[in-house]
């Protein structure tokens, strides 16, 4: 049986098409359900392997990106998601989905680390291609050091930690850092534009201790072919299609024969 992905829909979710397509290309069956529908029948979450919150502007980013959806997720789906995770299921958030996971305090899952995603240092929405390096937190799924080119498109993607130096160390030591922005030579950076947000530690994505709650700001689902890259796969942004590799990796625990 193919891995089953459940995509959350809500007012303002708008990256559902490309995310569904990417998961399908990576070998999953994809179902989409509205938050109202899940609030009425939370058990539907149990029918999937991977629960995904796509990018978008849920509720217009009012009160801060992901904030209102986070309240809804906590209130309506908090329990079923905890059970889903305990059973070996994954929770994945991209862009606004990541913001939602952070605002719902599902990420980072370290009791003494307080984090948020807030306005880019530029104060502006930024849409541009970046390079992401796989860090220790994601090494279970992808080779550490693998470079994944993908565009970002967000205004509130800067990871802020309550105690930057101390918290960075804890995230690092706890293998909670999934992806970092790197420059053209592969070195981690917090400098604009390679790190468009000025995110703390150049962090682009976080992962839980289990490795099964994952969120990232960039959009690997917009890099499925050479034609997607800004230079047609000529090499400045990889060869194109690295997003497929990424989504295959997310699904790998759920392929038939795989042991969770």
Partner 1 sequence: MAEGAWRVELEMHSGQPDPPGEVAGTALRQRGLRLDARVRSGRAYMLPGSLSRAEVERAATALLADPVAESARILEPGAVSADGGRTLIVRRHPGVADPEGQSALRALKLLQLPLPSGAVVESYHTYRVDGPVDGVELLAAGSRVLANPTVESAQLGDRPLQPHRAPPERTSRRTEVALQPLGKDALLGLSEHRGLALSLAEMCAIQGHYARLGRAPTDLELETYAQTWSEHCKHKTLTGPVHMVEQDASGRVLRERRFQNLLKETIFAATERLAPPWCWSVFQDNAGVVGLTEDLGVAVKVETHNHPSALEPYGGAGTGIGGVIRDILGTGRGARPFANLDVFCVGPEGLPPEQLPPGALHPDRVLAGVVAGVRDYGNRMGIPTVAGTLLRHPGYTANPLVFAGCIGEIPRTAVHKEVHAGDAIVVLGGRTGRDGIHGATFSSEALHQDSESVDATAVQIGDPITEKKVLDVLLQARDRDLYRAITDCGAGGFSSAVGEMAQDSGGAEVELALAPLKYPGLSYAEIWISEAQERMVLAVPPERLDELLALCSGEEVEAVRIGTFTGTGRLVLRWHGEVVGDLDLDFLHHGVPRPQRHAEWTRPDLAETTWPDADLAELLVRALGHPAVASKEWVLRQYDHEVQGGTVLKPYQGPEGHAPADGTVVKPRLDLPQGLAIGVGLAPRIGQLDAYAGAACAIDEAIRNVVAAGADPHRVALLDNFCWGDCRKPDRLGSLVRAAEACHDAALAYGAPFISGKDSLNNEYRANGVERPIPPTLLCTAVAPVHDASRVVRAFLQRPGNLLVLVGAARPAGGGSVAAELLGLADSAPPLPDLERAPGVLAAVHEAMRRGLVQSCHDLSEGGLAVAAAELVLGSRHGARVELGRVPAEGLPALSQAGGALARAFTETPTRFLLEIAPADLEALASLLRTCAWAPVGEVTAATELALCADGTPVAQLSAQQLARANRVPQPIAS
Interacting residue ranges for partner 1, rule: CB under 8 A: 9, 11-15, 17-18, 21-22, 34, 36-37, 55-57, 59-64, 67-68, 71-72, 75, 103, 114-116, 118-119, 121-129, 151, 153, 160-162, 190-195, 198, 219, 221-222, 224-228, 230-232, 234, 236-237
Tell me how far, at minimum, the Cβ of 140 lies from partner 1, in Å.
26
Cβ burial, residue 111 (10 Å; 0-12/13-18/19+)? exposed
Exposure on the CB side of residue 145, measured as CA atoms within 13 A: 1
Extract the tokens encoding 240. 């194109």
The DSSP 8-state label assigned to residue 233 in this structure reads T
Is position 144 annotated as part of the catalytic site? no
Tell me how far, at minimum, the Cβ of 234 lies from partner 1, in Å.
7
Is position 221 annotated as part of the catalytic site? yes
Cβ burial, residue 184 (10 Å; 0-12/13-18/19+)? exposed
Question: Quick one: which of 228, 223, 71, 248 has its CA closest to 148?
Answer: 223
CA distance 210 to 49: 15
Q: Which is nearer to partner 1, 105 or 255 (CB)?
A: 105
Which residue in 18, 72, 126, 221 is the catalytic one?
221
Q: Which is nearer to partner 1, 111 or 227 (CB)?
A: 227
Q: Which is nearer to partner 1, 134 or 195 (CB)?
A: 195
Is position 15 annotated as part of the catalytic site? no
């Amino acid at each position: 049986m193919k891995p089953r992905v459940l995509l959350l829909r809500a007012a303002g979710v708008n990256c559902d098409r490309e995310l569904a397509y990417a998961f399908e290309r990576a070998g999953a069956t994809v179902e989409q359900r509205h938050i109202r529908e899940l609030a009425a029948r939370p058990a539907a979450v149990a029918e999937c392997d991977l629960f995904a919150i796509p990018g978008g502007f849920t509720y217009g980013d009012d009160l801060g990106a992901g904030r209102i959806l986070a309240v809804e997720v906590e209130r309506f789906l908090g329990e079923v998601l905890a059970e889903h995770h305990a059973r070996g299921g994954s929770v994945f958030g991209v862009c606004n989905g990541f913001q939602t996971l952070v605002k719902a305090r599902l990420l980072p899952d370290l009791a003494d680390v307080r984090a948020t995603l807030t306005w880019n240092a530029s104060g502006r929405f930024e849409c541009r291609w970046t390079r992401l390096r796989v860090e220790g937190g994601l090494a279970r799924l992808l080779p550490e050091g693998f470079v994944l080119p993908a565009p970002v498109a967000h205004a509130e993607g800067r990871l802020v930690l309550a105690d930057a130096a101390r918290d960075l160390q804890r995230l690092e030591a706890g293998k909670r850092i999934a992806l970092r922005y790197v420059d053209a030579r592969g070195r981690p950076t917090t400098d604009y534009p390679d790190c468009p947000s000025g995110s703390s530690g150049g962090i682009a994505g976080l992962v839980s201790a289990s490795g099964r709650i994952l969120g990232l700001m960039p959009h690997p689902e917009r890099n499925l072919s050479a034609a997607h890259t800004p230079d047609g796969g000529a090499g400045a942004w990889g060869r194109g299609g690295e997003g497929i590799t990424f989504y295959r990796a997310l699904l790998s625990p759920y392929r038939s024969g795989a042991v969770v």
